[in-house]
Structure 1
Amino acid sequence: MKKLSVLFAAVIMVVSVSMAKAQKLATVDLMGVLNAMPEKKKADTDIKAFLDAKQAEIKKKADAGQAKLKQYSEEAPKKTADENKAREAELQKIQEEIAQMQDKAQKDLQAKQDVAFGPIEKKLNDAIEKVAKASGYEFIMDANSAALVYKSGADATAAVKKELGIN
């Protein structure tokens, strides 16, 4: 029994050592590479402009609603109950329209981000894959990941940037 335990321990040690030697690890600063890509900078600018335009539309509608609310509040004592009720319904409709505009803006923003960043992510992933294959890396991990507990492998950031033609 004792011989079996010693043999098992020896086999585990040999397998562990051979697995550790067989794996070649590297890290890459994904955010650093992404932020250096001109395509991402342009996409960020386009998305910010899109978002600013949507926010301006929503603010315009909200300001118009606020102005009506103020006007209706001031005129309410002079109006009939039916008129005030109709005005309340109109203000409620404006609030619903603003909420719909916000929902639509959020969905449109997500769609625009998907369209803009999809090709950028593919280009980055292709470059990482090419560098990994050329350098013999079995794993490349994000250097900024919170899940990374220990980092000892080579850093592939410079090679990925070179592959993408950026400094």
Structure 2
Amino acid sequence: MKKLSVLFAAVIMVVSVGMAKAQKIATVDVMGVLNAMPEKKKADADIKTFLDSKQAEIKKKADAGQAKLKQYSEEAPKKTADENKARETELQKLQEEIAQMQDKAQKDLQAKQDVAFGPIEKKLNDAIEKVAKANGYEFIMDANSAAFVYKSGADATAAVKKELGIN
């Protein structure tokens, strides 16, 4: 029975190695291709501009809050307890507004990235699929993947870049 198990395991290994060799596998440097695409470069610039403007708005509001805090701290000994309490409430409200602005900016940024990068990703995937079909590849994997242990197959990066019309 033990010999039968060993024989069965050996047969399975031989068959699986034979099947693996029959498959055509290629890799593609996805990040390299994406970074070479003019659409991605423009989207990155647009996203950076958007992010910079949101950060400037938040900084302006935060600076105004810091100025008020400094002013209120200096004037606190001269004010009544009720006035100081009202000022404290005002500062807390301002702090909450800044936090809401940051949350909204993060959500807006994510939405803008989704809208900007969706078509770019689709274009890349379509080009990869076209190259795979044209060259008979059954699998194309990302060359930058941490899951790679060994790479020794066709590299489809050049073909994908050619399909997209980039160098």
Q: 1:6 to 1:85 in 2, by over 3 A?
A: closer
Q: CA deviation at 1:7?
A: 5.7
Rounded to whole Å, the distance in 2 between the matches of 1:69 and 1:86 is 13
Partner Cα distance (1:65, 1:10) in 2: 73
Aligned residue in 1 for 2:23:
23
Counterparts in 2 of 1:59 and 1:5: CA distance versus 1, 3 Å: closer
CA displacement 1:125-154 (0-9 Å, x = unmatched)? 000011001101111111111111111111
Work out the CA distance in 1 between the residues paired with 2:52 and 2:107.
Answer: 15
| 1:2 alignment counterpart | 2
Q: TM-score, normalised by structure 2?
A: 0.94
Q: Distance in 2 between matches of 1:148 and 1:141?
A: 9
Distance 1:156 1:83, change over 3 A: same
Alignment of 1:64-143 (within 5 A): 64-143=64-143
Go from structure 1 to structure 2 and tell me whether the alpha carbon gap of 1:139 and 1:11 turns closer, same or farther (over 3 Å shift): same
Aligned to 2:15, the other structure's residue is in SS state: helix
Residue range with higher mean Cα deviation, 3-12 or 55-64: 3-12
Runs of at least 5 residues in structure 2 that lack an aligned partner in the other structure: none
Q: Deviations over 1:70-108 (max 9, x none)?
A: 110111111100000000000000000000000000000
SS at match of 2:141: strand
Q: 1:115 to 1:2 in 2, by over 3 A?
A: closer
- 2-structure distance, mates of 1:33, 1:146: 18
Query: Number of residue pairs matched?
Result: 167
Structure 1 residue ranges, 4+ long, deviating more than 2 angstroms after superposition:
1-14
Shift of 1:22: 1.6
Q: CA deviation at 1:12?
A: 2.4
TM-score (norm 1): 0.94
CA 1:78–1:15 in structure 2 vs 1: closer, same or farther (change >3 Å)? Answer: same
- More deviation in 20-29 or 40-49? 20-29
Instruction: Supply the distance in 1 between the matched residues of 2:107 and 2:142 (Cα, whole angstroms).
Output: 29
In structure 2, relative to structure 1, the CA distance for the partners of 1:2 and 1:82 (3 Å cut) is closer
Give 1:18 shift.
2.6
Segments of 5+ residues of structure 1 without an aligned counterpart are none
| Deviation of 1:17 (Å) | 3.7
Q: Rate the CA distance shift 1:6–1:48 in 2: closer, same or farther, 3 A.
A: closer
Deviates more, 1:7-16 or 1:24-33: 7-16
| Alpha-carbon distance, 1:4 to partner | 4.5
